[in-house]
Amino acid sequence: MTTVIDDIGLLVTNDPAIGRGALGLVENASIVIDDGVVVSVGPAGQLADDRVDAAGRCVLPGFVDSHSHLVFAGDRAEEFTARMAGTPYDGGGIRVTTEATRAASTERLMELTARRVGEARRYGTTTLEIKSGYGLNVIDEVRSLEVANRFTSETTFLGAHLVPSEYVGRTDDYVDLVCGEMLEAAAPLAKWIDVFCERGAFDADQSARVLDAGKAAGLGLRLHGNQLSEGPGVRLAVEKGCASVDHCTYLSDEDIEALASSNTVATFLPATDFSTRQPYPNARRVIDAGAQVAIASNCNPGSSYTTSVPFCIALSVRDMGMTIEEAVQAVTLGGARALRREDLGRLAPGSAGHAVILDAPSYHHLAYRPGVDVVDRVIGG
Ligand code: NIG
């Protein structure tokens, strides 16, 4: 089936060979999508049976949200409220969500996840990575991945999210379980493996073991690092060849150099810094050093309960030193790179026909109108 998105006032292609600047901007454009793939970008006025009228507004590639934890039950509004009153975030609430998730039926987890996926889509997300990590035993990690697989092919095994209550004081034994029986059961259901390398979660040696085991099982590598303090996470991620290291809130000069000389994407999660009252990372330093960056929602019940990529764009521009163009690119091409997906993040011939039509004349409105739903329609994905 052929779809034409016509009368696009301003099109973001992310292909400088097609249009102006890094965003590859084209005015008065149309795009033709055949069987889900962009086949051409041209002037407005093309015909097709399925014609979507952008009415002179802005169209950009669908957002690629490369970090989310959508499979969970329970609520941690009280923890958030306490944080706003000064209690620091330490990740310990992961165990509260683990208890609620283990107690929920698979049907209920499916329903809750579907609701969150639908919400993300309404805000323009066409590709979502979804992690496990609130099961923390073999049965419930597998169950979480089975649910995640119903919504995305970008599934991540995060058995090494936190040591569950029954293993407190026996972290190495838990790492044995994650790298053994749990990984064996999870690997067929996951594309990626992830580990939370942070004080209070897993140290560098334990994290390295998890990544090595995941790689041996054929999974791609990702890492949560440098969220609550400087630490070994970023350098370990680079050394192990992770596709992405996520959070990057506290970065030393050495970390930035390591990122800049690597293929590992630095993924910022600004809604987390917002919801945990952490300082925002200085993305400017990272970009100016030449590292690749992405921005993702990190939607989860503890540190960042939002599915809104536009909200993350607004924070990145307001508080992380990014230009609007850099932020838009970080949630499209950046997310695609963080998932090693060549087919996503552009609206150019050969790319997936995943598009967002804004109810606005330009992409600037994504940052300029914070908290307002500026997405009119989402196509594909
Ligand atoms: O990325 N840091 C680890 N994991 C999540 C938080 C999960 C939670 O608090 O429930 C994060 O922020």
* Predicted local confidence at residue 49, as pLDDT: 82
Fold of 63-338: TIM Barrel (3.20.20)
Asked if residue 93 has its Cβ within 6 Å of ligand 1, the reply is yes
Asked if residue 379 has its Cβ within 6 Å of ligand 1, the reply is no
Fold of 2-62+345-379: Urease, subunit C; domain 1 (2.30.40)
Q: Which of 17, 29, 116 is nearest to 355 (CA)?
A: 29
Q: How far is the CA of 98 from the centre of ligand 1 (A)?
A: 12
* Predicted local confidence at residue 197, as pLDDT: 98
Helical pair 233-240 and 253-260, crossing angle rounded to 10 deg: 20
Asked if residue 275 has its Cβ within 6 Å of ligand 1, the reply is no
Residue with tokens 């259901």: 189
Predicted TM-score (pTM) of the model is: 0.98
Asked if residue 233 has its Cβ within 6 Å of ligand 1, the reply is no
DSSP 179: I
Distance CA 175, CA 185 (A): 15
Q: How far is the CA of 214 from the centre of ligand 1 (A)?
A: 20
Distance CA 227, CA 361 (A): 36
Q: Which of 308, 314, 345 is nearest to 121 (CA)?
A: 308
Query: Which backbone phi and psi does 343 adopt, to 5 degrees?
Result: -85, -10
Which protein residue's CA is at the shortest distance from atom 8 of ligand 1? 302
Which protein residue's CA is at the shortest distance from atom 1 of ligand 1? 298
* Predicted local confidence at residue 1, as pLDDT: 87
Q: Which of 130, 183, 124, 47 is nearest to 298 (CA)?
A: 130
Contacts for 197 with CB less than 8 Å, ≥ 6 apart: 203, 204, 207, 223, 224, 225, 231, 232, 233, 236, 237
Q: How far is the CA of 83 from the centre of ligand 1 (A)?
A: 14
Tell me which of 224, 226, 276 to substitute to probe ligand 1's pocket, judged by most ligand atoms within 8 Å of the beta carbon. 224
* Predicted local confidence at residue 48, as pLDDT: 82
CA distances from 47 to 30, 42, 55 (A): 10, 12, 15
Asked if residue 297 has its Cβ within 6 Å of ligand 1, the reply is no
Chain-centre distance for alpha carbon 21: 25
* Predicted local confidence at residue 124, as pLDDT: 98
Q: How far is the CA of 91 from the centre of ligand 1 (A)?
A: 6
* Predicted local confidence at residue 276, as pLDDT: 97
Q: Where in the chain do CATH 2.30.40.10 domains reside?
A: 2-62+345-379
Which ligand 1 atom is nearest residue 89's CA?
Answer: 9
Q: Are 207 and 226 in contact (CB under 8 A)?
A: no
Tell me which of 72, 156, 161, 199 to substitute to probe ligand 1's pocket, judged by most ligand atoms within 8 Å of the beta carbon. 161
Q: How far is the CA of 240 from the centre of ligand 1 (A)?
A: 22
Q: How far is the CA of 169 from the centre of ligand 1 (A)?
A: 20
Q: Where in the chain do CATH 3.20.20.140 domains reside?
A: 63-338
Q: Are 54 and 347 in contact (CB under 8 A)?
A: no
3-state secondary structure of 236: helix
Q: How far is the CA of 138 from the centre of ligand 1 (A)?
A: 20
Which ligand 1 atom is nearest residue 94's CA?
Answer: 10
Q: How far is the CA of 222 from the centre of ligand 1 (A)?
A: 14
Which protein residue's CA is at the shortest distance from atom 11 of ligand 1? 303
Distance CA 296, CA 313 (A): 9
Q: Are 225 and 86 in contact (CB under 8 A)?
A: no
Could you list the mean pLDDT of each consecutive 10-residue stretch along the chain, which spans 381 residues?
Answer: 96 98 98 96 89 98 98 98 97 97 98 98 98 98 98 98 98 98 98 98 98 99 98 98 98 98 98 97 98 98 98 98 98 98 98 98 98 97 95
Q: How far is the CA of 354 from the centre of ligand 1 (A)?
A: 28
